[in-house]
């Protein structure tokens, strides 16, 4: 398994700390990995390592910089501050793609994300990012800045049907928003699966520790399959 390296980067004056893991050979693509609202955790780091094992460079983004949270409440507050200014948030997210482009110049880019990271990759798609694919896992679907231009990347959304943060009304609104700009989306919905289904390490006692081995396995396979297709 490849080692993960700390990478310092920044969004304007805000210092950020990313985590990079490279495959053994030439990377098939460079994947920006946007973590949950908790910022990087062992669960997300493991996904980045799995990408490297599959031949991809993976770069785990830092949402918050020096404000990086250490528990549920501070993470929630940090997320609220980040989301309060949607344009500033997009600038923050683009900084990760820029840094990844410096680290892997000329390599096609992809972005995946979990929870807040799922929201992040959809925001990048709406923002016109030059990505081959974005994949959201139990991500939030709503946006204060609906897509108003063609979206380049293919879109994969892997969604727990009973996600307590994403009711079916959000799903329907997302489809309508994406259809209005002719986006090319695949939407996978899993019955009786809640928010956070990809993380086997969710601490007991936190809200909705909803790991679902089948949804985790099948959604990851869907990502691998679409990556093969968009990079063929």
Using CB under 8 A, list all residues that contact its own copies: 155, 161, 168, 172, 175, 178-179, 182-192, 214-215, 217-218, 221-222, 225-226, 229
Minimum distance between the CB of residue 219 and its own copies, rounded to whole angstroms? 9
C-beta of 179 vs 206, nearer to its own copies: 179
C-beta of 63 vs 190, nearer to its own copies: 190
Q: For 136, left (φ over 0), alpha (ψ -120 to 50), or beta?
A: beta
Instruction: Give the position of tokens 């500033």.
Output: 88
The closest of 126, 132, 94, 129 to 110, measured between CA atoms, is: 132
C-beta of 32 vs 158, nearer to its own copies: 158
Asked if 56 and 27 count as a contact pair (C-beta separation under 8 A), the reply is yes
d(CA 158, CA 160) in angstroms, rounded, equals: 7
SS3 at position 219: helix
Minimum distance between the CB of residue 167 and its own copies, rounded to whole angstroms? 12
Minimum distance between the CB of residue 2 and its own copies, rounded to whole angstroms? 25
Q: For 15, left (φ over 0), alpha (ψ -120 to 50), or beta?
A: beta
**Distances from the Cα of 228 to the Cα of 29, 73, 159, 222, angstroms:** 10, 39, 21, 10
Asked if 20 and 40 count as a contact pair (C-beta separation under 8 A), the reply is no
Among positive and negative, which fits the CA dihedral 164, 178, 223, 44? negative
Minimum distance between the CB of residue 192 and its own copies, rounded to whole angstroms? 7
Minimum distance between the CB of residue 84 and its own copies, rounded to whole angstroms? 31
C-beta of 81 vs 192, nearer to its own copies: 192
C-beta of 201 vs 213, nearer to its own copies: 213
Minimum distance between the CB of residue 126 and its own copies, rounded to whole angstroms? 15
Q: What pairing do the DSSP bridges indicate for beta strands 14-21 and 30-34?
A: unpaired
C-beta of 3 vs 191, nearer to its own copies: 191
């Amino acid at each position: 398994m490849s080692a993960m390296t700390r990478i310092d980067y920044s969004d304007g004056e805000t210092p950020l700390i990313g985590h990079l893991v490279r495959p053994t050979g030439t990377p098939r693509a460079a994947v920006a990995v946007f973590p949950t609202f908790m910022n990087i955790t062992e669960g997300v780091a493991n996904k980045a390592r799995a990408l490297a094992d599959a031949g991809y460079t993976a770069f785990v983004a830092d949402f918050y910089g020096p404000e990086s949270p250490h528990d549920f409440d501070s993470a929630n507050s940090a997320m609220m501050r980040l989301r309060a200014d949607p344009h500033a948030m997009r600038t923050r997210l683009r900084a990760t793609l820029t840094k990844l482009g410096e680290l892997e110049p000329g390599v096609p880019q992809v972005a995946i994300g979990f929870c807040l990271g799922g929201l992040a990759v959809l925001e990048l798609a709406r923002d016109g990012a030059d990505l081959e694919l974005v994949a959201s896992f139990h991500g939030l679907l709503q946006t204060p800045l609906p897509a108003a231009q063609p979206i380049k990347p293919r879109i994969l959304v892997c969604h727990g049907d009973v996600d307590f943060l994403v009711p079916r009304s959000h799903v329907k609104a997302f489809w309508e928003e994406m259809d209005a700009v002719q986006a090319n989306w695949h939407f996978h919905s899993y019955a009786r699966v809640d928010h956070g289904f990809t993380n086997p390490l969710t601490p007991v006692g936190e809200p909705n520790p909803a790991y679902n081995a089948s949804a985790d396995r099948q959604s990851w396979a869907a990502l691998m399959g679409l990556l093969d297709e968009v990079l063929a």
